[in-house]
Amino acid sequence: MKIKALIAFLAITTSVMAQDRKIDVESKVVTNHEVTIKGKRVPYSATVGTQPVWDNNGDPIATLFYTYYERTDVKDKDSRPLVISFNGGPGSASVWMHLAYTGPRILKIDDEGYPIQPYGVKDNPNSILDVADIVFVNPVNTGYSRITDPKANRSTFFGVRQDIAYLSEWVNTFVTRANRWSSPKYLIGESYGTTRVGGMAYELQNNQWMYLNGVILVSPTDMGIDRSGPVEAANRLPYFAATAWYHKQLPSDLQSKDLLEVLDEVESYAINKFIPVLAKGAWATESEKNDAIKMFARYSGLDEEIIRQHNLDVPYNFFWKDLLRHEGHTVGRLDSRYKGIDRMDAGMGPDFNAELTSWLHSFTPAINQYFMNELGYKTDIKYNMFGPVNPWDRSGDNSAESLRKAMAMNPYLKVMTQSGYYDGATTYFNAKYNMWQTDPSGKLKDRMSFKGYRSGHMMYLRAEDLAQSNEDIREFIKNSIPPAGTPAKY
């Protein structure tokens, strides 16, 4: 009997402990700090906590974990910009831009972005906190954000349109609680986060009646713009050229030129000559095909015979495997400066993403230590660098058109794109293509801008680009706030 009683007691205790491992629907911890940015002292508060997501009946069904940095020596909050920051995935936490880009504390890594030990964080002298307050938001199942109602339908959160809708509602509540309705407001999203913020710009205007001054697209996705067929194949070539240039795989005459000079040449070829040959397909003349194969090889660092075997349509995966195959290395997907080692050199694609394993190496210990030791937020919940968000409903992805409509309806709204030349997941040339195709009329193009950097998907991991990309955001914010009294009209 005693043994049975003990087993029952342990079962109950285990059940209670399991139930206790949950995130509070509402929580808040506030700490005060200071950082030196561009040589000037900036005092700030850091608020970490959770804020609910409610259903249509007003009952909490999930909670989102956020970190809010607010400069504390500013008297006029009405004119103080607020930047609302999202990462991507979908299913990715906000850790990346939070702890390596715009926030006041960043990773301890080397100047090219590689991990170093001991792990940890340091002050970010390039943070945009001098000119704007920032809130980093973790969508459901990322970071410490979780579904709290076991009866809640997962489809409420996990889809293009659903994600945009509930996050816009959440932002409305946050802005109200923080008393920031009068502030100029900005969305910044990275990778899938660009699909998110592109759609949110329109959703916030139309259903939350919240108007923005700017949207910043970091390493954007296709954002619902079709580019299948010849355009898709041709658009890969400038990225191939950038990566081949970095690894010194181009002919000497190209290798001796600056990267941007090479890319100007390759972009012109891709648009003006390569697409027409691809469009002709089997009806291209033998001479046209042979010339295209030679130019592709010249710009990509790949062998002509391989390009011929692919019918001029070389997949990314094969390129990452083949470019340095002769050296026994692969190149990274999200940042092709990184090298990997496979089990064998043969094959059609790399065994793993060399850059992502490197990033997780440095980010994961740093973010966990940072919340606990510096910001005082303690929980037994696991911080999901990548969380379970599948199946993800990808129908209705029309975020570029949503962004265009938001811009058309709001004369204040400006858009800036930031891309790394060595990003093979969301390439810089596809980002340019997005910008060109978002508004084919050209009526909005004076409010769109593009910035390129000599790094990859997370261009800010490279010290030189960290400084420049933050400065580009700083200038974008300053330039997108109209002089007092300027009417929003055409």
Question: What does each C-alpha distance from 380 to 17, 27, 93, 383 come to in angstroms?
Answer: 11, 14, 17, 9
pLDDT at residue 18, rounded to an integer: 45
Structure-token match 């599948």, residue found: 390
User: pLDDT category, 296, cuts 50, 70, 90?
Assistant: very high
Summarised one tens digit per residue, pLDDT across range 436-471 is: 999 999 999 999 999 999 999 999 999 999 999 999
Q: Report if pTM > 0.85.
A: yes
Overall average pLDDT of the 23-41 stretch: 96
pLDDT at residue 17, rounded to an integer: 43
Kindly state the tokens that stand for 356: 């992502």
In whole numbers, what is the pLDDT of the chain averaged over residues? 94
pLDDT at residue 320, rounded to an integer: 97
Domain 27-224+362-480 has CATH 3.50.50.60: no
Overall average pLDDT of the 260-269 stretch: 98
Summarised one tens digit per residue, pLDDT across range 66-107 is: 999 999 999 999 999 999 999 999 999 999 999 999 999 999
pLDDT at residue 467, rounded to an integer: 97
Q: Is the model's pLDDT at 24 over the cut of 80?
A: yes
Overall average pLDDT of the 234-258 stretch: 98
pLDDT at residue 22, rounded to an integer: 85
Q: How far apart are CA 313 and CA 453, in angstroms?
A: 26
For 320, phi then psi, to 5°, come to -60, -35
Q: Is the model's pLDDT at 30 over the cut of 60?
A: yes
Write out the residue limits of the CATH 3.40.50.1820 domain(s) in the chain: 27-224+362-480
Comparison of pLDDT for 16 and 130, the residue scoring more? 130
pLDDT at residue 458, rounded to an integer: 95
pLDDT at residue 19, rounded to an integer: 52
Summarised one tens digit per residue, pLDDT across range 369-393 is: 999 999 999 999 999 999 999 999 9
Whether the CB-CB separation of 86 and 187 falls below 8 Å is answered with: yes
